[in-house]
Homo-oligomer: A and B are copies of this chain.
Amino acid sequence: MSLTRVQFFSISLDGFGTGEGQTLEAPFGHAGERLHEWMFATRQWRGPDQPGGSGGVDDLFVKQHDQGIGAEIMGANKFGPRGWHEDPEWKGWWGPNPPFHTPTFILTHHAHPPIEMEGGTTFHFIDATPAEALKTAREAAGGKDVRIGGGATVIRDFLAAGLIDHMHIVVVPILLGRGVRLWDGLEGLENDYQIEAISSPSGVTHVTFTRTGA
């Protein structure tokens, strides 16, 4: 069964999934890298040829990144800074071999030919509702799961449409004060999910949402 999953999407304690003022130099705006330092510190992120790195619960979650995933859907702001569609050279933030390794669908109103990258990632650009995008991504996923990669607005839209089966949110103990909120307009979400929380010695708290039977 192909599930729709959100994986370690990081938010601040005050609920922002990204800061204000995204630019080419600052993909997360004034948040900088502070939402993701916990991730950079894991063994999995650092790679097997690097010494050190934490091997606890943070690492276990990061190790799930590619497991069983056959496609990703992301918002246009995750793919590039405002105006990227006018730059014919822009191929995302991630260099020649992006960390997706699957068909990856970018939600955008701007038509754009697909971009084939190294390592199995192909970027497709689609103008679609969450349900339509999911149908397209699921067909491309070959029976595997579909990752909803963010940003906050995209995850919120998929939640509001009732399309997320499993979600893993990482609450980072910082207060961003401004940016894009994840939780707006989702009153009562807990009624549809089993929710667990586990704090890590790194300071973050992992909150998992597993959809219960309807």
Contact = CB atoms under 8 A, between A and B. Distances in A.
Interface of A: 13-15, 171, 173-178, 183-190, 195-199, 203-205, 207
Contacts of A171: 171, 197, 205
Contacts of A195: 173, 203
A155 to B, nearest CB: 13
A186 B197 contact: no
- Number of chain copies forming the complex: 2
A188 B189 CA distance: 28
Nearest to A177: B187
B183 A14 contact: yes
In the complex, which of the residues A174, A175, A207 has the most CB atoms of chain B within 10 Å of its own CB atom?
A: A175
7 contacts: A13-B190, A171-B197, A174-B190, A176-B187, A196-B203, A197-B205, A205-B205
Contact of A173 (B173, B178, B184, B207): B207
Contact of A177 (B186, B198, B207): B186
A10 to B, nearest CB: 14
A177 B188 contact: yes
A10 B171 CA distance: 16
Contacts of A14: 15, 183-184, 186
